[in-house]
Copies of this chain bind each other. A is one copy, B any other.
């Protein structure tokens, strides 16, 4: 569809192009603009053809790069209009990631009140409620009637990020209750807000962690949540679309950390190789150091091993099974912590569970290996060595796997870093020692 717009545009049929543009979904339009790789002057021309009440909306869905290119080419007047139409949370996000000269121009073209608010919002720490909240909410008063509330919503609603939950405040901005448009619709026009509002509402504070807030949306099926300061004054709201973004970002961050990388906000294909490499090398180096330790163990047992070189062939299996068993347990605990299904206080229940699981898993793997090795290698002693080490390795790995993420959480670290790579590397050494010790004992070497 955007192709047709461009065709009309090149044919200078601006009027037709404009009316076609008005029909395209905002999000799709923003994405098309990204993909077309327009020249600077074309980009600005297309952007200027957007219906006025749509321009800021499309703008908010563009990448920082395209936003910057548009800002660079439009007049101060146009910029001021867009900034006026943008929701404050989008403005703050954008300013947070723009180069200094662009930020300066943006702030110059914001009205004074907005400028003060932006500066205030920029100071909230990363990952706090403050950085994803916005101020465009509907506020009502307790002594309003439902009819008056509707009038108020009609008058002010066009600029609000959501009208479906309204916040009941007093002269001091203290939050007394919330009332949904649904409740308003189902109440009599003469009912007083004070009588129908919900006073047992869920709220968060400016410094609360985003991930916890996203969990509240999930738990209570909310569409928005009020953010209050220490004096219970309403300072903003967070809407579910932002909570959804937080959930996706936090999951991605966990995936990335669990695969031994430093996290990043930028999508895979948009990240350049040097940045990719920088995010991957630190953990690889660290894990390499611990792998050297596992190597040292092989060195240490060299004499015993030289007496029985058949043992070497079992190194990959012992290390692999230990690592995989451990990361199974670690992953379940990390995900449980992220979803709030387990907490560090559950440590005993978790250890007890992993204990039993690992005994079952270990026993089955041990029996299968015993039979296999006894039949193929023909040595019952070797089979016994592998089976016993397998049992011990699985149990130890699962215990380490479940304990490390819990310990990390307890120490206010992100449990996601205690995932497969760390567990595997730690467990490798343990598996090898176990295996070689049993071999020494059983073969008396």
User: Contact: B341 with A420, CB < 8 Å?
Assistant: no
A-B contact pairs, 5 of them (CB 8 A): A258-B258, A273-B357, A284-B365, A285-B368, A420-B420
Q: What is the distance, in angstroms, from A2's C-beta to the closest C-beta of chain B?
A: 13
A321 is contacted by which of B153, B287, B298, B365 (Cβ under 8 Å)?
B287
Q: Is the CB of B291 within 8 A of A256?
A: no
Tell whether, in the assembled complex, residue B261 and residue A218 are in contact, meaning their CB atoms are under 8 Å apart.
Answer: no
With the chains together, A274 CA to B305 CA distance in Å? 37
Q: Is the CB of B313 within 8 A of A316?
A: no
- The one of B27, B281, B328, B357 in contact with A259, judged by C-beta atoms closer than 8 angstroms, is B328
CB of A353 closer than 8 Å to a CB of B: yes
A102 sits at the interface (CB 8 A): no
Copies of the protein in its oligomer: 2
Stretch at the interface among A44-52, A115-123, A229-237, A342-350: A342-350
Give the chain B neighbours of A150 by CB distance below 8 A.
185
Q: How far is the CA of A259 from the CA of B432 in the complex (A)?
A: 22
Binary interface encoding of chain A residues 409-426 relative to chain B, with 1 for a CB under 8 A from any of its CBs, else 0: 000000000001100110
Contact status A244-B247, CB under 8 Å: yes
Smallest Cβ-Cβ distance to A425: which chain B residue: B320
Q: Is the interface of A mostly helix, strand, loop or mixed?
A: helix
Number of interface residues, chain A, beta carbon within 8 A: 107
Residues of B within 8 A of A312 (CB): 295, 298-299, 302, 305, 312
* Neighbouring B residues of A328 by C-beta, 8 Å: 259-261, 280, 284
- Give the B-binding residues of A (Cβ under 8 A): 23-25, 27, 150, 153-154, 157-158, 163-164, 181-182, 185-186, 200, 202, 217-221, 223, 240-241, 244-245, 247-248, 251-252, 254-256, 258-261, 267-269, 273-274, 276-277, 280-281, 283-285, 287-288, 290-292, 294-296, 298-299, 302, 305-306, 309-310, 312-317, 319-321, 323-325, 327-328, 330-336, 339, 341-342, 346, 349-350, 353, 356-357, 360-361, 364-365, 368-369, 420-421, 424-425, 428, 432
What is the CB-to-nearest-CB distance from A59 to chain B, in angstroms, rounded to a whole number? 15
Q: Which of B244, B274, B331 contacts A218 (CB 8 A)?
A: B244
Q: Choose from B153, B323, B432 the contact partner of A424 (Cβ within 8 Å).
A: B323
Q: Which residue of B lies closest to A429 (CB)?
A: B316
The CA-CA distance from A217 to B182 in the complex, in Å, is 21
Decide: A331 near B255, CB < 8 A? Known: A154-B185, A287-B324, A365-B284: yes
